């Protein structure tokens, strides 16, 4: 008749069950975990995704600020050029009026 011995151990994180049978010399080892490692890996991945998303959003915001600054500067240059053109036109008209003989 075969003898069977079952040993179970648990350290809080993992569980191990060993079944030994003398007749056939076969030993079965069933190791199971509590799944805490999977939860920790899942949390680490979630934290990494959150950090990457934060940096991507900041980068997008900085690009938008930079674009607004360039647009504002270009508008200011255009306004200055327009004012300069008006000033040159006014000066040319005044010079023409001063040179032209009056009736």
* Residue 97 pLDDT grade (very low, low, confident, very high; cuts 50, 70, 90): confident
Please tell me the distance from the alpha carbon of residue 6 to that of residue 4, in angstroms, as a whole number.
Answer: 7
The number of beta carbons lying within 10 Å of the beta carbon of residue 17 is 14
* Residue 3 pLDDT grade (very low, low, confident, very high; cuts 50, 70, 90): low
Would you call 19 exposed, middle or buried from its count of C-beta atoms within 10 A (0-12, 13-18, 19+)?
Answer: middle
* 32 contacts: CB under 8 Å, gap ≥ 6: 14, 15, 16, 17
Supply the DSSP symbol for 35.
S
- C-beta separation of 48 from 29 below 8 A: no
Tens-place pLDDT, residues 4-49 = 666 777 776 667 777 766 666 566 666 666 667 788 899 999 999 9
Point out the least confidently predicted range of 24-28, 47-51, 63-67, 68-72. 24-28
């Amino acid at each position: 008749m075969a003898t069977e011995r079952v040993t179970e151990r648990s350290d809080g994180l993992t569980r191990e069950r060993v079944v030994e049978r003398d007749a056939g010399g076969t030993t079965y080892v069933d190791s199971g975990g509590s799944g805490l490692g999977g939860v920790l890996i899942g949390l680490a991945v979630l934290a990494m995704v959150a950090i990457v998303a934060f940096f991507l959003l900041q980068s997008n915001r900085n690009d938008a600020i930079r674009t607004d600054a360039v647009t504002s500067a270009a508008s200011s240059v255009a306004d200055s050029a327009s004012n300069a053109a008006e000033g040159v036109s006014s000066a040319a008209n005044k010079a023409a009026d001063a040179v032209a003989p009056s009736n």
